[in-house]
């Protein structure tokens, strides 16, 4: 480089540093939009598939696992309930929400209250990579009215489908059915479910 170029660079650098050295820089508030696309396959069931009518087999598909999940809750069998979850989710649930006899008993009472007189049916299946989401409803048996509507995530572990918490923070789990297929999330939200 020639001497004049070095002098020009030095002057620009010095001028730039002196302009901000006194803290008189210009503040601006801006946003950055990062778009992540989640391609998935959606299967809608019309009419919804009643879990009571679904053929059982050993966790060979997510619907069977969901059926066993609700059966364990109906009977108040906490160990059978935990067996429907992946190892990591199972240990998290056992340590945080189902630790001790009192917590297990309280959970069984809650499950009984939520499920008594209600039938579960799957309305939609979403296939997303290695995950499957099942959107289900609980209907009051007498009135036919929907009392719970939720979506659960499943993944295979050791060849069996298990409920997972891997997508707990993913916008896919909570917003797969957004009307226009778009959703905004908080800046700290994780989109891949990993920390």
Query: Residues 56-70: pLDDT tens digits?
Result: 665 578 999 999 999
Q: Could you report the per-residue pLDDT of 152-194, keeping only the tens digit for each?
A: 999 999 999 999 999 988 888 888 988 888 887 776 654 454 4
Residue (of 110, 107, 112) closest to 78 by Cα position: 107
Q: Is the pLDDT of residue 38 over 90?
A: no
**Alpha carbons 150 and 49: distance in angstroms, whole number:** 15
> Three-class SS of residue 138?
strand
Q: Are the C-beta atoms of 123 and 137 separated by less than 8 Å?
A: yes
Q: At what angle do helices 62-75 and 101-115 cross, to 10 degrees?
A: 110
Prediction pTM value? 0.76
Give the strand order in the sheet containing 118-128: 41-50, 118-128, 131-140, 146-157, 160-163
The percentage of residues in the chain with a pLDDT greater than 90, rounded to a whole number, is 45
Q: How confident is the model at residue 5 (pLDDT cuts 50, 70, 90)?
A: very low
């Amino acid at each position: 480089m020639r001497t004049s170029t070095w002098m020009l660079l030095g002057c620009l650098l010095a001028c730039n540093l002196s302009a901000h050295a006194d803290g008189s820089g210009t503040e601006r508030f801006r946003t950055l939009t990062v778009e992540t696309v989640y391609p998935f396959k959606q299967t809608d069931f019309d009419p919804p598939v009643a879990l009571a009518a679904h053929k059982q087999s050993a966790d060979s598909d997510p619907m069977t696992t969901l059926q066993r999940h609700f059966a364990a809750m109906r009977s108040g069998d906490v160990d059978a309930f935990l067996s429907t979850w992946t190892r990591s989710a199972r240990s998290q649930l056992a340590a945080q929400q189902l630790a001790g006899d009192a917590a297990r008993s309280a959970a069984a009472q809650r499950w009984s209250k939520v499920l008594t007189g209600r039938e579960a049916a799957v309305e939609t299946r979403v296939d997303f990579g290695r995950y499957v989401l099942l959107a289900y409803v609980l209907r009051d048996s007498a009135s036919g009215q929907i009392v719970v509507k939720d979506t659960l995530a499943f993944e295979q572990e050791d060849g069996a489908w298990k409920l997972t918490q891997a997508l707990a923070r993913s916008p896919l789990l909570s917003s797969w059915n957004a009307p226009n297929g778009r959703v905004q999330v908080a800046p700290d939200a994780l989109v891949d479910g990993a920390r």
